[in-house]
Amino acid sequence: MQLLPKTTTTTKLIRNFSKALKLSATTGFLQGGIQVHAHLVKLGLYNVLSLQNKILDVYVKCKEFKDAHKLFDEMTVRNVVTWNTVICGLVNCGNNYKPCLYTGFSYFKKMLLDEVGFDPITLNVLFRACLELNGIEIGRQLHCLVVKLGFQLNCLVNSALVDLYGKCGLATEARCVFDDVMYKDLVLWNVMLSCYALNSLAEEALTVFKLMQLENLIGDGFTFSSMLNSCATLGSWELGRQIHGLICKLSFDLDILVASGIVNMYAKNEYIEDARKAFDCMTAKNVVSWNTMVVAYGRQGDGKEAMKLLKEMLLEDFAPDELTLASILSSCGSVSASCEIMQVHVYVVKFGLQSFLSIGNAMINAYSKCGRAASALKSFNSVPEPNLVTWTSLISGYAFNSLPKDGIKMFEKMLSAGVRPDQIAFLGVLSACSHAGCHPQALEVYCMLSLLLWLMTDEYNVSKLHAVHGNVLDECAL
């Protein structure tokens, strides 16, 4: 074994190797970690616990779990950092890989059997694992352990617990945990606000925000983003405007996420001019703010403005998402802007987005409203796995364009494909039958639908169906 250089102290070597291993773990540079590992063995520093933990961290962050398990088993001494490193690595291995998550819990059980005291970091990562596994029952068991061992006073643990309950739709249980904490930090307040916003409990979020103000807590960008989201959900423009004023007063409007939230709040409340002003005032825009503004114009049926903004968005090198494109197609269809629809269609094909159901369905609707039934059919055929909405869009489109035979034929194909019709599908094909008058095929479908309506009266709201049903009777003089 090579002796340590006399000019270099062991402490300094340990410090330098520790930095090198940390860098390898952070950057995912596995080869660097392996080389340092080899040097440590050569220099006789391999058994230093802090360095072993760092090597372990490199292996788990590089997803080299075989080497990590081997090193872990070879360690004669393990502390809470050792156990946390392995458990965190397994939980964070990505891609919702459940075997890794379950292995993480197995290590936690071994940790308890070895009587190694865990800490808030251990619990925090295990609560995240519960979330990935949708394992609320395991989470409740951990919650009991938290209370039993006195961790309920720790804000980090409680924040993770509130987050777990909130994301599992258990807002009441999340609030109970929150209320039991005597000294709350800003993170815990924010997680509670986020929980209510996530569960569309906007009024409860506003109540928590008011309590927060009574505690003289100003909040941060995350706080105001959650509040703006709640105002958007609640449809409370007036309160949203007041929060906007407070945001500007505290200069949080410079935060890009908060600024995007302001645009979204006004847009969701259908104050398009205010949304546009907030959008134009943004010093820097992100893809969320662009998409929000384009969708807002789309929902208002302002296809031309939506297209204009989309072109600006593309010039700024921002890519629209599927919701944005579907919204533009819908608005262009409403004003029969076939040229704009074709431009969007070209973009969709160019970037391979035609497989998205929302875009395919919107394309069918848009072309149908512009009287381009053949293009609507081509769009239908480009959808890999059409759903009920896809079929219904084409059937209704044929009825809209006075092509009843095609609509009836498509309805029969839908039934043959095993797709179960809903009220809108019934309306579409009944409308097609009405246009077809006394055509034999229309009469055949009419009789079939009459039977279906009689069988499904309890399941469907058939008042509208009966109205169209009457039109078919009039047309056929039955």
Lowest mean pLDDT among 99-103, 404-408, 459-463: 459-463
In a domain, 169, yes or no: no
What DSSP string describes 171-215? HHHHHHHHHH-SS--HHHHHHHHHHHHHTT-HHHHHHHHHHHHHT
Say if residue 290 is in the same domain as residue 275.
no
What DSSP string describes 28-60? T-HHHHHHHHHHHHHHT-TT-HHHHHHHHHHHH
Stronger pLDDT, 70 or 355, i.e. the higher one = 70
In a domain, 435, yes or no: yes
Say if residue 236 is in the same domain as residue 275.
yes
pLDDT at residue 65 tops 80: yes
Give pLDDT tens digits for 327-338: 888 877 766 677
How is residue 154 annotated by DSSP?
-
Q: How many domains does the chain contain in total?
A: 3
Average pLDDT over residues 429-450: 57
Say if residue 242 is in the same domain as residue 209.
yes
Interaxial angle between packed helices 120-133 and 136-148, expressed in degrees from 0 to 180 and rounded to the nearest 10: 160
In a domain, 431, yes or no: yes
In a domain, 226, yes or no: yes
Domain at 267, CATH number: 1.25.40
Say if residue 325 is in the same domain as residue 357.
yes
Average pLDDT over residues 74-84: 93
Lowest mean pLDDT among 40-54, 156-170, 264-278, 298-312: 298-312
In a domain, 27, yes or no: no
Say if residue 361 is in the same domain as residue 344.
yes
Say if residue 291 is in the same domain as residue 267.
no
In the listed set 367, 385, 403, which residue is the last one of a domain according to the structure? 385
Say if residue 299 is in the same domain as residue 367.
yes
In the listed set 385, 403, 427, which residue is the last one of a domain according to the structure? 385
Q: Which amino acid is at 324?
A: T
Question: In this predicted structure, what is the pLDDT of residue 6?
Answer: 44
In a domain, 368, yes or no: yes
In a domain, 327, yes or no: yes
Say if residue 276 is in the same domain as residue 292.
no
Which is nearest to 353 in space by CA: 316, 391, 379? 379
Cα separation, 275 vs 285, whole angstroms: 13
Cα 271 to chain center, whole Å?
25
In a domain, 472, yes or no: yes
Q: What angle do CA 9, 13, 15 make, to 5 degrees?
A: 115
Cα separation, 84 vs 104, whole angstroms: 10
Question: In this predicted structure, what is the pLDDT of residue 433?
Answer: 64
Which is nearest to 323 in space by CA: 342, 335, 343, 306? 306
DSSP 3-state assignment of 2?
A: coil
Average pLDDT over residues 171-184: 93
Contacts 24+ apart (CB under 8 A), 299-305: 299/270, 299/327, 299/331, 300/270, 300/272, 300/331, 301/331, 301/334, 301/335, 302/272, 302/331, 303/328, 303/331, 303/332, 303/333, 303/334, 303/335, 303/337, 303/340, 304/335, 304/337, 304/340
Average pLDDT over residues 99-111: 90
By the 10 Å C-beta count (0-12 exposed, 13-18 middle, 19+ buried), 359 is classed as: buried
pLDDT at residue 460 tops 80: no
At 179, is the pLDDT very low, low, confident or very high (cuts 50, 70, 90)? very high
Give pLDDT tens digits for 114-134: 888 889 999 999 999 998 888
At 435, is the pLDDT very low, low, confident or very high (cuts 50, 70, 90)? low
Give pLDDT tens digits for 196-218: 988 988 889 889 999 998 999 98
Question: In this predicted structure, what is the pLDDT of residue 194?
Answer: 92
Domain span holding position 417: 411-477
Say if residue 277 is in the same domain as residue 300.
no
At 151, is the pLDDT very low, low, confident or very high (cuts 50, 70, 90)? confident
Give pLDDT tens digits for 245-296: 999 999 999 999 999 999 999 999 989 999 999 999 998 898 889 988 988 8
Cα separation, 399 vs 382, whole angstroms: 21
Lowest mean pLDDT among 94-98, 113-117, 251-255, 297-301: 94-98
Q: Mean pLDDT of all residues in the chain? A: 84
How is residue 235 annotated by DSSP?
T
Say if residue 290 is in the same domain as residue 276.
no
Average pLDDT over residues 348-363: 88
Terminal CA-CA length for the chain: 102
At 467, is the pLDDT very low, low, confident or very high (cuts 50, 70, 90)? low
For the chain, give the percent of residues with pLDDT over 70: 86
Say if residue 361 is in the same domain as residue 430.
no
Say if residue 422 is in the same domain as residue 470.
yes
In the listed set 266, 284, 302, which residue is the last one of a domain according to the structure? 284
